[in-house]
Amino acid sequence: MKNIIRVFSTNLIKMCVTFITAFIVPMVLDVDSYGYLKLYQFYVSYIGLTHLGFCDGIYLEYGGKETKNIDAHRLSLQGSSLLTYETVLAAIVIGCGIFAKDFIVVCCGITMLPQIMYTFYNYVFQAVGDFKRYTQVMNAYSIVNLLVNLLLVGFKVLDYRVYVLLYVMIETVPFIVGTLLFRKNDCCHFSGFDKHIFVSGVKLGFLLMIGNFAYTIFLGIDKWFIKFTMEIDSFSFYSFASQLLTVVNMFITPIAMTLYSTMSQRKDREFEKRIKRLLVVFLMAVPLVTYMLNFIIETFMVQYTPAIKVTALLFVSQIFLCLNTAIFVNLYKVYRKQKEYFKRLCISIGVAVLLDGMIALLEPNTTYYSFSTLISCMIWLGLNLQYFPYLHPSRKELCYVCSLLLLYAVAFNLPYAIKIAVYVVAYIALTWKLMHREWEYCKRQVIAMVKR
């Protein structure tokens, strides 16, 4: 619980920063400029794939171990090998960007090294349960990110290229902080590239890396199609809606991160069923967040009203996506079933590509693309439930989810005050009636926290 609270507080800070920048930056930049800025961030979101799963392999190798039991020399050699590999790869990307005279690609190349090494540090901290240092790195990044964005908005900088350049500088902050923290454990020495260590790490973590990038992959498929079939303003609207999903991720990330360790130790089916049901109860409150965000958009950001329908669909997709990433991805890790996981993920991605391809050929539209994401996430969840049949939802659970989603859709066009009030009453009543055990468990936890 202590680690969940610590990571939760860190993600709260990160969410607040992201939430603030998600609203203040679009207010300064015009729609097209914001679209180019989000294009840079979209490309950067794929940088994590360049380590080919090496960092995930490190996470699996050191998962559950204590810091004092880790071979500092081996860990240092692993970090050195990754540093060498990423330096060469970054130089190639920068060279390609210069040759193509593409400013965004060049900046992505510069971002690669600090972001990957920062990922390496954080995965080690998470694996050994050193969440104190993990939160230090994350908090440093969030604070600098907020200050830079406030500075840019305060001076009303209108050139997206200035934002991109400063965002590149922001990425170096967690890299520097992580390096300093690593040096304290004498695990930060450059000793060249070890092919055997690098290849073994990639083999161990490649499939897990694909799993960790499930969120990026699913939302990214739509964005690629939108980029090539629609104008930059459509990409801007869709990216703006996607950015708002960080509100939900702030709550899910600490739970998903700490569940792996707990599930690995217990391997208890009854515990896994309870956790899944508790998460369902939590996620069904997501529509309330959608209502509130749409109210903000309609009131203060009229130029982004085309993003409202996209936001509504993506937030529902997030309910199914969070169940996949927080529960099932962790279960595949716990029981070392990466191949089974990869197979089901590939099928789901194939469905998403097929649906998006049909939309691209018939009628490119951001609402249709977001609906495609929803269908793909539901199919992925169905495939995962097929592999873990003991997690199949009961009739009460199905009735609970379907009733609230139907109410969410029916009440969407009502005045905001009315639909929020109706949904809150229905959510409380249905949770108490259909998910009574989860209701009582949550009530006991809240009472216990208050007494402390």
> For residue range 348-373, what is the model confidence (pLDDT) as tens digits?
889 999 999 999 999 999 999 999 99
Secondary element (H or E) of residue 187: none
Question: What is the radius of gyration, based on Cα positions, of the chain?
Answer: 22
d(CA 440, CA 452): 19
pTM value is 0.78
d(CA 54, CA 49): 10
- Report pLDDT for 449: 43
What phi and psi, each to the nearest 5 degrees, are found at residue 434?
-95, -25
Query: Span 307-330, mean pLDDT?
Result: 88
For residue 446, pLDDT beyond 60: no
d(CA 188, CA 263): 31
- Report pLDDT for 450: 44
- Report pLDDT for 17: 75
d(CA 346, CA 49): 16
Q: What is the pLDDT of residues 262-291, one digit of tens each?
A: 787 778 888 888 888 888 988 898 888 888
Exposed, middle or buried by CB within 10 Å (0-12, 13-18, 19+), for 439?
middle
For residue 387, pLDDT beyond 90: yes
User: Which is higher by pLDDT, 182 or 205?
Assistant: 205
User: Which is higher by pLDDT, 210 or 2?
Assistant: 210
- Report pLDDT for 111: 94
Write the DSSP assignment of 27-49 as a string of letters: HHS-HHHHHHHHHHHHHHTTGGG
What percentage of the chain's residues is helix, strand, coil (to nearest 5)?
Answer: 85, 0, 15
* CA 317 to mean position of chain CA atoms: 13
Max intra-chain CA distance, the chain: 63
Q: What is the pLDDT of residues 58-112, one digit of tens each?
A: 888 887 777 777 777 788 888 889 999 999 999 999 999 999 999 999 999 999 9
- Which of 141-145, 216-220, 232-236 is the least confident region? 216-220
User: Which is higher by pLDDT, 67 or 142?
Assistant: 142
d(CA 82, CA 79): 5
> Strand, helix or coil at 392?
coil
d(CA 356, CA 126): 36
What is the percentage of the chain residues whose pLDDT exceeds 90? 29
pLDDT band at 4 (very low <50, low <70, confident <90, very high): low
- Report pLDDT for 12: 66
**DSSP single-letter state for residue 186:** T
Query: Span 186-203, mean pLDDT?
Result: 80
Asked if 369 and 359 count as a contact pair (C-beta separation under 8 A), the reply is yes
- Report pLDDT for 187: 61
- Report pLDDT for 332: 87
> Strand, helix or coil at 289?
helix
For residue 154, pLDDT beyond 90: no
Residues in the chain: 452
- Report pLDDT for 7: 61
